[in-house]
Chains A and B, each alone.
Chain A
Amino acid sequence: MSIRIGIDVGGTYTDAVLISSGQVRQTGKVLTKPDQLLHTVLEALDSLNITSRISPNHEVENITVSTTLVTNAILQKRLPEVELILLPGSGMKLTSLPWPVPYHVLSGELDYRGRQIAALDKHELQHLTETIINKRQGIKQKNEKPLAVISGKFSHRNYILEQQLAAYLQKEIPELSMALGSEWGQSNFYRRSLTAYLNLATQDLFADFRDNLIEAVHARGLHAPVKILKADGGMLPAENIRPVESIYSGPAASLLGTLAQSNPEHAYIVVDIGGTTTDIGLVLAGKPLLSSRGAHIGDFLTNIHSLAVRSIAVGGDSVVLPAEGEQAAAEGRENNNLSLASYRLGPAYCLGGSRPTTTDALRYLGLVDFGSHTRAEEAMSLLLPEGRRETPYLRDIAQKILNLMVEHIASAIEALVKQWRNEPAYKVWQVLNPRADHKFPIKLSGGGAHGIAAALAQRMNTTATLTDHAMVANAVGAAMARPTFSWTLNLDTSLRRYRIEETGEQGEWRGSLKPHREVEQFLNTLASKQAKDMGLDEYRLEIEPFDYFPLVEGYRTVGQIIRGRVHLPPGAFQLQDYGPSA
């Protein structure tokens, strides 16, 4: 009997679940201590009482953690200094895009096929070395090892300049710890540079957390691999994941939580209502929609694949603000311009908080049954002028708050569906087969979700149903996440060079100039080997149609550029009663 454990670190609470034979057997909830995430995770793990529930023939197969460790470090700007060395070549000015961190610029240039246009400049290299060394001499804490990212335009097509520069710097500054932009083998130059930057900057922080977590898990007699949830909804062993890939795993977890409890053939919208944010995602034929662009975190645009989740600052604990301040109330005017604050000031009034919230409106209207009705009524009166606090007015204002919340969520749903329908397309067949208008049913999770189900369904003219285990949906998502995998080939047979986008691997192509089946075989072999190394041999990789571009020079075909991809899309194992379990 296999057991899966999922832990999701949220902004307010950290949830944990234990699932065995596809059924949720145990859940736990602890307060998140943002400064002590490791402690929080272990506390949540311990709340499941595992030792007492596991007999020798019940093996824990998986422990998956969705953590805000890296996200918070980036958002709170707690990153060590990294020297960012750029090789931008010609083209658009660097200053056209906002760089959130300082950088050095060196010469050396490649073109769009990775052909070298200009070499590195020796004098510039010497000068750079001196700059870095001088800077270090000014720093007192010499025990921190210096970090540097080298990133060149078109290095995803050829990493030669980055490697030459890295080799040079390693010799001059042996203690320098370096990362290359080409390790993130996708366009564009700006995002690749910043992704490599964030990954190197969070490496030590993450390694520390990971090592302690693994040790602590082992100390509890558990020998299952510890896995970390990624922004794309997949999970990887904690030893293999690149730290920055763990950002935004929370919204991914909430989507997967619903996925694990839904028919794997269906298309629907997922709405997860939290304390201060609501996450909205789209699932098509059982697969969550991925964002076509990389994740945006703080001031950084990245190459990190993430689910196309829209997060809006509306939740059960959102404070209701009487717009125009208390003035309108004092003048005894009807208050038509309520708004929702983007923050939380403790729990809802009906649960002992100090300010009226959306939950109070739901409680007053009888749409949720937790909290004190009397206090909810009081909360509503606080929003009204004296003399206008009779039942019809109270009902009216509660209804307005509900409508406001529903309207926020509905517009975000519409924006997400629009984004999906308007994805760029680059081929004739894609444009001729457009994404049809579709009424997606809605699946709701999160505390208080049932309070708005009916109103949201009416507004969207569709059905809205509640997910089971709505209170711990994120932890269920973490526990039941399937691994993801993607392996994208870019092959230039004329230059005899291949590149793999996801890992930044580059190498020599020894096959023919105009390969056909041969290249699919080549990609499959490479990908299968990588998948096996990652322990994914049991999964069947999906192959996307390859693109072949005949490369013509002077009316003669001299080779081909080929793009191809095999992958495992994000998904979730099914809880029992929700379809075949994998």
Chain B
Amino acid sequence: MKKTGIVFFPAFDWSLGETHPEREERLLYTQEQIFEEGVMDLPQIKQYSPAVANIQDVLRTQAVFPSPKHHELDAHLIAVGCSLVLGKALMAQEISNGFVLVRPPGHHSATVVWGNRGFCTLNNEAILANYLRTYYGVKKIAIIDTDVHHGDGTQDIFYYDPNVLCISIHQDGRTLYPGTGFCEEKGGPNSWGNIVNIPLSPGTGDEGFIYALEKWALPAVEEFKPDIIINSAGQDNHFTDPLASMNVTAKGYGKITEMIRPDLAVLEGGYSIQGALPYVNLAILLALAGEDYSGVREPQKINRRVLGGEKVRSYIDDLYKYFQQIKPNWRYAQGQNKHLPAGKWVSVEKEIFYDTEMFREQRHDLIRECQHCGGTVFIRTRNQATMEKAMLVKIPFEACPACEQAGYDLVEHYKKSAQTLLLQNQLRNQVLFWENGKEVNLFASEN
């Protein structure tokens, strides 16, 4: 029998504040609903117990600065750990798909972590994806983000990575946090086209969402041919969500899940904790388990105008046409950094806002243009609130010898500096950390 795995971790003793959307109560009614329905008694459902991830698994994917011990990570490490539990079960073929029904969420958490952003500190899906690549040799992964907010953190982590397709379908960033996720964001010099953003107009409902999937997202997945599909299953497109303005129903979420057919779905946002979550979570779970979800019905009715019909279809069609003709326009690093190893380096500067603690991060990314691999990435970052600086060198999975050497050269040069430096050697499954010119073992207490 095909099994559907579930890890249910509602973190009943953790919140970001008593009335914060990310609070103890968030999955309480979801628990009441799925338990009372008897979902856990379905013969194809296999419940797994939660686990804690270790720091090494985090740092392979995310640079936590100034150092992991400066952050309150317990609940986040469990959410990551739960994702890995189902990832392992999937690879061991104990399950054919699964739902990581956990909090806190993670998709706003980016390559560099100076703090919490959009309720997220660690990126559950990204850490999971790189875990599967490291330990199970999975080559290509597609992450489809159906949260109403742009999955900016996940996009940032895989922006320069040719082997991960990131699709985010969300409410237009001009009308909602985090204000990004436009069609022009399509990937780096070695991964152009692997980032797909589908910003929808506020008011879009089941019809428009499903149309965007059918005409745009799913063909992109088909073309990419991923080994594994992960769904960042945010639930705030629901018409009762207090933070967003979309009109998707619980049944619509069931249909979306059925269409995406994810190997693993991971809960992201969704803060209509009474009106939406119990029903949306149930619909997703039933869809994954191959059960009829057509009876799932939220008691509230949509009482705002739904953008549908020809109007929503032509909007999506036009946007898609525009998306297809967007061309890259790289700026190359020239002379300003004489320590850059040989090769052509694309230079990208950006500023990232941390809304939870209200500060900005200044980032300068340098990507080695490469015909053979994802290209080594060198990132310099500064926390604008504390003025702390740090650096990250990332040698990608399947790096070519030249890019690998470029990564080592960068480390050799910068490891003696006063700034914190992290090496993510994804090729060799190696994570090294330097503080004040000295290598620090962050994993001493583990195992």
Contacts and interface: CB of A to CB of B under 8 A. Distances in A.
B291 A188 contact: no
Interface in A547-561: 547-552, 554-557, 561
Contacts of A549: 12, 24-25, 28
Instruction: Name the 8 nearest CB pairs between A and B, nearest first.
Output: A112-B32, A190-B38, A90-B297, A188-B38, A427-B13, A92-B37, A422-B49, A187-B36
A425 B274 CA distance: 22
Interface stretch (B39-47, B165-173, B305-313, B377-385): B39-47
Contacts of A187: 32, 35-36
Contact-size category for B:
35 or more
Interface of B: 8-14, 18-19, 23-25, 28-29, 31-33, 35-42, 47-52, 74-75, 78, 81, 242, 274, 278, 282, 286, 291-293, 295-297, 299
Interface in A524-582: 547-552, 554-557, 561
Interface stretch (A223-231, A338-346, A428-436): A428-436
A428 B49 contact: no
A190 B295 contact: no
B238 to A, nearest CB: 16
A191 interface: yes
Given A92-B293, A96-B286, A301-B41, 8 more contacts: A93-B291, A112-B33, A113-B32, A188-B35, A423-B49, A426-B31, A428-B11, A548-B24
Contacts of A91: 33, 37, 282, 295-297
B42 A97 contact: yes
A550 B26 CA distance: 10
Interface of A: 90-93, 96-97, 111-113, 117, 153-154, 156-157, 187-191, 301, 421-429, 431-432, 434, 547-552, 554-557, 561
Contacts of A422: 48-49
Given A189-B38, A422-B48, A431-B78, A547 B25 contact: no
A425 B12 CA distance: 10
A112 B29 contact: yes
A233 B217 CA distance: 56
Contacts of A428: 11, 13-14, 74-75, 78
Which of A90, A96, A421, A434: most chain B CB closer than 10 A? A96
Contact of A154 (B36, B78, B274, B286): B36
A432 B278 CA distance: 27
Given A92-B296, A96-B42, A424-B49, A188 B37 contact: yes
A425 B47 CA distance: 11
A550 B25 contact: yes
Contact of B25 (A90, A96, A423, A552): A552
Contact of A93 (B47, B51, B292): B292
B37 A189 contact: yes
- Which of B10, B25, B293 has the most CB atoms of chain A within a 10 A radius of its CB? B25
A492 to B, nearest CB: 11
A117 B299 contact: yes
A554 B10 CA distance: 21
A101 to B, nearest CB: 16
A301 B295 CA distance: 23
20 contacts: A90-B296, A91-B295, A93-B291, A96-B291, A113-B29, A154-B32, A157-B32, A189-B36, A424-B8, A425-B9, A426-B9, A426-B31, A428-B11, A428-B14, A428-B74, A431-B52, A432-B74, A550-B18, A551-B25, A552-B18
A547 B38 CA distance: 23
A548 B13 CA distance: 9
A532 B340 CA distance: 80
Contacts of A188: 35-38, 40-41
Contacts of B75: 428
A92 B51 contact: no
A379 to B, nearest CB: 40
B41 A191 contact: yes
B13 A556 contact: no
A112 B36 CA distance: 8
A111 B299 contact: yes
Contact of B24 (A190, A550, A555, A556): A550
A555 B293 CA distance: 31
B133 to A, nearest CB: 25
A561 B28 contact: yes
A556 B18 CA distance: 9
A555 B19 contact: yes
A549 B39 CA distance: 23
A309 to B, nearest CB: 20
A426 B33 contact: no
A205 to B, nearest CB: 27
B23 A191 contact: no
A417 to B, nearest CB: 14
B9 A97 contact: no
A96 B293 CA distance: 10
A551 B38 CA distance: 25
A183 to B, nearest CB: 16
A423 B242 CA distance: 34
Nearest to A157: B32
Given A422-B49, A425-B50, A550-B23, A93 B9 contact: no
Contacts of B291: 92-93, 96
Among B13, B37, B292, the most chain A Cβ lie within 10 Å of the Cβ of: B37
B101 to A, nearest CB: 11
A426 B10 contact: yes
B292 to A, nearest CB: 5
Nearest to A192: B36
A168 B142 CA distance: 56
A233 B50 CA distance: 29
Nearest to B299: A117
A97 B24 CA distance: 30
A423 B50 CA distance: 9
